[in-house]
Amino acid sequence: MDRPHLETLTIEPQMAFGSIKNVSKIFSAGELLSRSAEPVVALDDASFDFEQGQLVSLLGPSGCGKTTLLRIVAGLIPKTSGSVVIGDHEVVEPLGDYGFVFQSPSLMPWRTVIDNVLFPMEILKRNNKAARQRAGELLELVGLSGFVGARPHQLSGGMQQRVALCRALIHAPQLLLMDEPFGALDELTRMEMNDLLLRIRRETGASVLFVTHSISEAIYLSDKVIVFSRRPARVAQEIPIDLPYPRSQRTRFTPAFTQAERIASEALGVLPPVDEKGTPS
Amino acid sequence: MMSRLVAQIGYPLAGVAFILAAWVFVCWAGNLPTVVLPTPDKVFYAFIARFDLLVSEGWVTLKETLYGFLLALVIGLPMAVAVANSRPLNLMFYPLLIGLQSVPKVALAPIVLVWLGTGMESKLAIVWLVAFFPIIVDTVAGLRSTPRELLELADSLRASRLQIFLKVQFPAALPFVITGAKVAITLAVIGAVIGEFVGSSEGLGFLLLSATSQLDTPLAFAALFALSVLGMFVYLLVELAERLAAPWLPPPSQRH
């Protein structure tokens, strides 16, 4: 890198780590499984930024296009218009540097737990001794060190999802994409997983885009919540969450948490707006 | 523990005993001549007395079955991979394969015999014909039903097509391949026997046919019994291969 280039870089304003600008996605007729005759607008002019190390939740009703946005950010499907920049890269195809967690654990039944975790390292051809050690450490972090050689079908749903989380983190990705990862779990397991995710973030400093339709989960986990409207998904509101870290289940009962929940509920349209005197309008 | 032993061994044995008793009763009550329905002891005697013959003819049928089945695997699997991964090939051949599956392949046996003669080649061809379709159709179905999440995961890591095939698509399809192979091996035995019926000078099918034409019904029954043993043996071979290739699948008795 030569000096003038460096200087121009320092003059430029601080760029966000991730920048989604005016992204729209229109599925043409026949492109979707539903085979609708009309083109479907899944995403309409979505824009937001996020910083390195932030967890940003994409909150909205089911099937509103949040998942579509996540797949666009991952480079898995093309966008119709707009731009997605992660790090220094305009995303047009997968960067190979993401961790992915889906709603279902999606483990490979033919692999043991640790070999499932190591799958990304095999694809990236970095499956060495250090990788195995890191896999062991990650499994210990999620409390599964006793299940290294087990097969996925021997684990409960929550345990499988923890393995999936380790698989998403093994290659130390610059961005973690999570698509309603705890949506299929029962409430108590879900709270445990929320705390686990907060701890993992503290220890790895990972940046996370987190799709959910649970208001309280979004607020509990996030530095920022992006609320989407019904399809076609538009960004209805950006809500910064200033709850202090470390957060615990007690955080859910603080006034600031309730306040954030109220704002998010209003943005989602599940609460009727109130006027200045506090009476429903 | 004791009751499980009774359930697993006692009841099946009781079932066999019941069938044998019914068999003996029909022979006795109907006063049937041996040439129509021999009693179980005569069949058993024929089985022991002609054991060498049954083994040597069984060996021929076993070879026809296994070679034809392996041929179906060796040709069917690569073709399934090609059809599942290439859109033009898929559009060209998949409907054709589904359609051909419903053709009664054994009906082709006389024609195959005209083409290939009465030796081993015609038997291999007939076994191949009946075993090939379940293998290729099930394998294609398996290769095309890879979980979408696993493909996206591999894509997000920029996996090569070869990596995706070897590490995701094929292992995910393996249970389908095994299901196809189990159907195929059962059909393969039938194919071999039909081939021997239509034109042959050896094999258990030939033995069965010649024994009935000589009114040696006990031997025909003994050959039938040998064929059942052969059928179970080759099926168990496939199950053994399944245990080796996919030890992660739950044992067959625990499925469903």
Q: What are phi and psi of B50, to 5 degrees?
A: -105, 25
3-state secondary structure A113-171: HHHHHCHHHHHCCCCCHHHHHHHHHHHHHCCCHHHCCCCHHHCCHHHHHHHHHHHHHCC
pLDDT value, residue A33: 59
Confidence of residue A7 (pLDDT cuts 50, 70, 90): very low
pLDDT at A273 over 60: yes
Chain center to CA of B58: 15
pLDDT at A12 over 50: no
Q: Hey, what amino acid is at A232?
A: P
Chain center to CA of B157: 41
The winner for highest mean pLDDT among A30-34, A39-43, A73-77 is A73-77
Contact (CB<8Å) A94/B157: yes
Judge if the upstream peptide bond of residue A109 is cis by omega within 30 degrees of 0: no
pLDDT value, residue A1: 39
pLDDT value, residue B1: 59
Measured distance CA(B85)–CA(B93) in Å, rounded: 12
Give the minimum alpha-carbon distance from B30 to chain A in angstroms, rounded to a whole number: 56
Give the minimum alpha-carbon distance from A131 to chain B in angstroms, rounded to a whole number: 16
Measured distance CA(B63)–CA(B196) in Å, rounded: 13
Place of tokens 């559009």: B91
- Under 8 Å CB pairs connecting chains A and B tally to 57
- What fold, for A15-97+174-268? Rossmann fold (3.40.50)
Average pLDDT over residues A164-193: 91
Report which of B243, B227, B110, B131 is spatially closest to residue B188, judged by C-alpha positions.
Answer: B131
Contact (CB<8Å) B167/A122: yes
pLDDT digits (tens, 9 = 90+) for A51-74: 988 999 999 887 778 888 999 999
Give the minimum alpha-carbon distance from B149 to chain A in angstroms, rounded to a whole number: 6
pLDDT digits (tens, 9 = 90+) for A202-242: 888 889 999 998 999 999 999 999 999 887 788 889 999 98
pLDDT at B78 over 70: yes
pLDDT value, residue A271: 79
Helix and strand numbers (H, E) in chain A are 9, 10
Q: Domain ranges for chain A, please list them.
A: 15-97+174-268, 111-173
Contact (CB<8Å) B154/A74: no
Backbone dihedral region for residue B51 (phi beyond 0: left; psi -120 to 50: alpha; all else: beta): alpha
Instruction: Kindly report which listed range (A174-178, B104-108, B152-156, B248-252) carries the lowest average pLDDT score.
Output: B248-252
Average pLDDT over residues B66-94: 93
Query: Which is more confidently placed, B157 or B105?
Result: B157
pLDDT at B117 over 70: yes
pLDDT value, residue A42: 84
CATH of domain B39-254: 1.10.3720.10
Residue of A nearest to B163 (CA): A123
B159 at A interface, C-beta within 8 A: yes
Q: Domain ranges for chain B, please list them.
A: 1-31, 39-254
